[in-house]
């Protein structure tokens, strides 16, 4: 029987499935069986799963959590965390995406096509990567001396889009909020991309290819993230007393 590794995450979004694909690729090389656990990391649920599967290690996706990693729940089982908030990380090994690079790539594309007026639309919840993307947008816009705006996803978005000076490029924190923004722009009679150009982040093909017009999007390498996370776990399994790494 292959050694079992648990991956605590969901499979409903493409980004999560891509992370899982990368983890599977590494697991195939080293002879692991990865079992996906689509459950929250509450003490009772995790302990029940650990007792049932008796894994050699665990990977935990924390992209939608803003709290400290639940280290104690896993006891002495080697465990690594994906997209754990750096401000909340302590005594654990974790991997994060470069949120700043994703935003700058989108902004540089707008600048390349001649746009000198840009806006940023955050995600609806204040996850750390959302804050990092907003802060990177502000820092880069000020550095390049570009007229810039921060939109609110929870206020009257249609009115905000109508009031933006045109033409303007809008960097969206992810493809889901970009989809919402494009729908609101369409209802407001705003032409995309002539008046508002849009770039999302995540490259969810189902959203991007069926948007009207199709949505351009930055792709953080989720497959590589899953592969590297599994690689980090393997190192902890082989050397559980090694120094924690980010």
DSSP letter at 238? H
Angle at 16 between CA 12 and CA 22, to 5 degrees: 140
% residues pLDDT > 90 (the chain): 88
At residue 43, the pLDDT reads 76
Which of 17-21, 39-43, 47-51, 91-95 is predicted with the least confidence, judged by mean pLDDT?
Answer: 39-43
Q: Is the dihedral of CA 125, 138, 223, 231 positive or negative?
A: negative
């Amino acid at each position: 029987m292959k050694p079992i590794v648990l991956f605590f995450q969901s499979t409903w979004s493409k980004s999560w499935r891509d992370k899982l694909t990368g983890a599977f690729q590494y697991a195939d090389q080293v002879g692991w069986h990865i079992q996906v656990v689509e459950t929250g990391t509450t003490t009772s649920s995790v302990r029940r799963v650990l007792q049932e599967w008796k894994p050699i290690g665990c990977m935990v996706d924390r992209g939608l959590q803003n709290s400290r990693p639940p280290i104690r729940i896993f006891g002495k089982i080697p465990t690594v965390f994906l997209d754990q908030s750096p401000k909340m990380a302590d005594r654990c090994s974790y991997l994060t995406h470069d949120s700043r690079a994703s935003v700058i790539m989108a902004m540089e594309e707008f600048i390349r096509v001649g746009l000198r007026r840009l806006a940023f639309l955050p995600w609806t919840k204040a996850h750390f990567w959302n804050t990092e993307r907003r802060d990177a947008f502000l820092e880069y816009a000020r550095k390049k001396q570009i007229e810039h705006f921060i939109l609110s996803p929870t206020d009257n978005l249609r009115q905000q889009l109508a009031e933006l000076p045109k033409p303007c490029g809008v960097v969206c924190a992810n493809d889901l909020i970009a989809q919402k923004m494009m729908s609101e722009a369409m209802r407001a009679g705003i032409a995309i991309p002539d008046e508002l150009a849009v770039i999302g982040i995540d490259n969810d093909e189902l959203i991007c290819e069926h948007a009207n017009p199709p949505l351009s999007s930055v792709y953080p390498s989720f497959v590589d993230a899953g592969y590297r996370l599994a690689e980090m776990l393997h190192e902890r399994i082989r050397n559980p007393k090694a120094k924690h790494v980010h």
